[in-house]
Amino acid sequence: MTDPRNPSTRPGSDPAGGSAGVDLADSNTLAYSGRALPASIQASRVRSLGWWYQAEWRLIGMRAYWTSILGSALLTPILYVIAMGIGLGTLVDKASGGVDGVPYLTFVAPGLLVATVVMSAANETMFPVMDGFKWGKLYFARATTAASPTQVALGELLAVAIRMAAEAAVFWLVLVLLGAVNPTTSVLMIPVTALAGVAFGAPLMAYSATVEQEGYQFSMVQRFIVMPMFLFAGTFYPLSAMPGYLQWIGWISPMWHGTQLARAVSFGLPLAGWEVAVHLAFLGALAALGAWLAVRNFTRRLQR
Amino acid sequence: MPVIEARALTKTYGDVHAVDGIDFDVASGESFGLLGPNGAGKSTTMRMIGGTSLRTSGTLLVNGLDPETHGPEVRANLGVVPQTDNLDTELRARDNLIMYGRYFGLPYSYLRPKADELLAFAQLTEKAGEKVDNLSGGMKRRLTIARALVNEPTVLLLDEPTTGLDPQARHILWDRLFRLKEAGVTLIVTTHFMDEAEQLCDRLIVMDHGKIVAEGSPADLIRRFSTREVLELRFGSERNAELVDDLRHYADSLEPLPDRLLLYTEDGEAALARVRADGHTPMTTLVRRSSLEDVFLRLTGRSLID
């Protein structure tokens, strides 16, 4: 293919005419300045790095609500530590001498971190995704650039993962400063938490990409998936404290698998090697399946 | 080599043939129009060109490449202005341009000065730091067009560029688009406005129900499918229909519309004189040049905007 960007093939490049406003010479330069990368280079850059260009601007777009992101990351752990550590924790520790052999605050802190971040992941993958298809239609704008629908989906997911990791890092730092966790291996809670966030966020993103109506489904997701998971998936007490017929809620929730791993790295909750492997595999599989479905659903909707 | 080459291009949604086997070529530097009512298949055709709608059958080449298999390569040469503005309302005007350019893999060192040039072209320099939500409809439209130019495309796809804009805003836009055409950019425009097609297009296809019903330059289409002049007569909504048969012989052809009768003739004034001489008393009359609106009416029996 010949490159149509050769200026000699473009007519009208004589800088003679011009009226008010931008003169003709300028609109020629505007159409072809010679400074832009050739189309073939643009395409090859996007083919290899398009997923990152997509993520980059999703993250920059989060500037619009960065105060609420930071506020939630800073304030949530402070409130939880006061309520759970000083309030509830005192009661629990007095009555039973802690949970799993550690003070209640130590036990509950990793769970709160994972739960908070997973819920943020849910928020980032419901209405914002629907907005991209339905209200603002920004995904359609992105799909008209050199990017592919796959890159739009993966870039979106990557941006959510990065946000989750950042939120987890701030949350973790506050927990350390408040003395709720030891600043040693507990730093591994950050990637574990981000993984749990993606394991929940990716399938939810795939689902959100199929929502055509006004999104009332999302309040159902909040009420019947996110809330039960928060309450029953071992965040506030070990899953074993629940009757056997309710424990499955934990087994199928990314929150529980993430929390178990977070407890292992923060205060050394004893997990067998196979347990670690199962938790990681469950989260990894859910993230991968969700990503695959998200790519499929984004592609379908962007190429209709 | 044509910039666009479509053969038996077809898109079906279930039983609906949105685009029904159309053939057309667009030459480099040409300003090409797709004219037709809503639902004629214009937007679907545009989206297939960008590879953002997969065709059901037929072949389509853009700069010699299939947009479905070479999406990034094809789209790197395209600027797309969609029917509804999809700017990022959370960002400022200038950032919208930079962001969009990033999606083409363009470096910030290129994008920052380019964004300023594009804002000047779109007469939005003073609005550079304004949030998109605070811009008027015409400004948003110009920003969307500026955004489409950020990668210096050789082909600009404009889907109803001026729908919903006031007359002044439309004229500003037409002026900007005309400059781009002069600078050698190939324009592909869909519209259901006749004046827009006549202003912008060297050549156009008239689409209806997914098919091409006519093709040519605006002047050529008017010559082939209409007369030089049109006499519009209004007798009041009840009487218009009654008079159709009485008035038919005053013109080459007659199209009844609910509110008026259109008499196609080489000489409108002469026809009007004869109508009056025979004792008919229209409430209002108008003699005008034939337009693409008349071509469409003639070809499909329907007016373009219902």
User: Residue A258 has which token pair?
Assistant: 């993430």
A32–B76 C-beta distance less than 8 A: no
Q: Tell me whether residue A124 is in a domain.
A: yes
Look at residue A15 and tell me whether its pLDDT is greater than 80.
no
- pLDDT band for position A21 (50/70/90)? very low
Q: How far lies A223's CA from each of A119, A219, B199, in Å?
A: 12, 6, 56
B128–chain A nearest CA distance, Å: 17
A85 in a structural domain:
yes
State mean pLDDT over A22-51: 84
pLDDT above 70 covers a percentage of chain A that reads: 92
Q: Is residue A6 in some structural domain?
A: no
* Residue A278 covered by a domain: yes
- Please, what are the domains in chain B? 4-217 (3.40.50.300), 223-300 (3.30.70)
In a domain, A39, yes or no: no
Residues of the domain holding A140: 45-302
Secondary structure element (H or E) that encloses residue B34, with its range: strand B31-35
The answer to the question of residue A200 being in a domain is: yes
pLDDT band, residue B304 (cuts 50/70/90)? low
Please tell me the pTM assigned to this model: 0.89
CA nearest to B2 within chain A: A4
Please tell me the total count of domains within chain A. 1
> Which chain A residue has the Cα nearest residue B89?
A136
Dihedral sign, CA of B103, B107, B108, B114?
negative
A23 domain residue, yes or no: no
List the single residue in A24, A136, A145 with the smallest CB-CB distance to B103.
A145
Please determine, for residue A20, whether its predicted confidence score (pLDDT) is greater than 70: no
pLDDT at residue A19 above 70? no
Q: Which pLDDT score, from 0 to 100, does residue B239 have?
A: 84
Q: Å from A228 to nearest chain B CA?
A: 33
pLDDT band at B36 (very low <50, low <70, confident <90, very high): confident
Interchain CB distance below 8 Å, B151 and A36 = yes
Percent of chain B with pLDDT over 70: 98
DSSP state of B60: E
For the segment A61-104, what is each residue's pLDDT rounded down to a tens digit? Answer: 887 788 888 888 899 889 988 898 888 998 999 888 888 889 99
The reply to whether residue B73 touches residue A2, judged by beta carbons under 8 angstroms, is no
Model pLDDT, residue A9: 40
pLDDT digits (tens, 9 = 90+) for B269-284: 999 999 999 999 999 9
Q: Which chain B residues are closer than 8 Å to A54 by Cβ?
A: 103
Whole-number pLDDT of residue B147: 96
**pLDDT over threshold 90, residue A273:** yes
pLDDT at B21 > cutoff 50: yes
Which DSSP string corresponds to chain A?
Answer: ---TT-GGGSS--------SSS-HHHHHHHH--S-SPPHHHHHHHHHHHHHHHHHHHHHHHGGGGHHHHHHHHHHHHHHHIIIIIIIIHHHHHHHHS-BTTB-HHHHHHHHHHHHHHHHHHHHHHSHHHHHHHTTS-HHHHHHTSS--HHHHHHHHHHHHHHHHHHHHHHHHHHHHHTTSS-TTGGGGHHHHHHHHHHHHHHHHHHHHTT--SSSTHHHHHIIIIIHHHHHHSSSSS-GGGS-GGGTHHHHT-HHHHHHHHHHHHHH-----HHHHHHHHHHHHHHHHHHHHHHHHHHHHHHT-
pLDDT number for residue A23? 53
Closest chain A residue to B82 measured between Cα atoms? A141
Is B52 close to A43, i.e. CB distance below 8 A?
Answer: no
What does the alpha-carbon distance between residue A240 and residue A51 come to, in Å, rounded to a whole number? 42
Nearest to A1 among B65, B71, B118 (CB): B65
pLDDT of amino acid B303:
62
Contact A142 B103 (CB under 8 A): yes
Structure confidence by residue, pLDDT tens digits, B163-195:
888 888 888 889 989 989 999 999 999 988 888
**Count of CB pairs separated by less than 8 Å, A with B:** 171
Average pLDDT for A224-243? 92
Residue range B219-238, pLDDT digits in tens? 999 999 999 999 999 998 88
Residue A25 lies in a domain: no
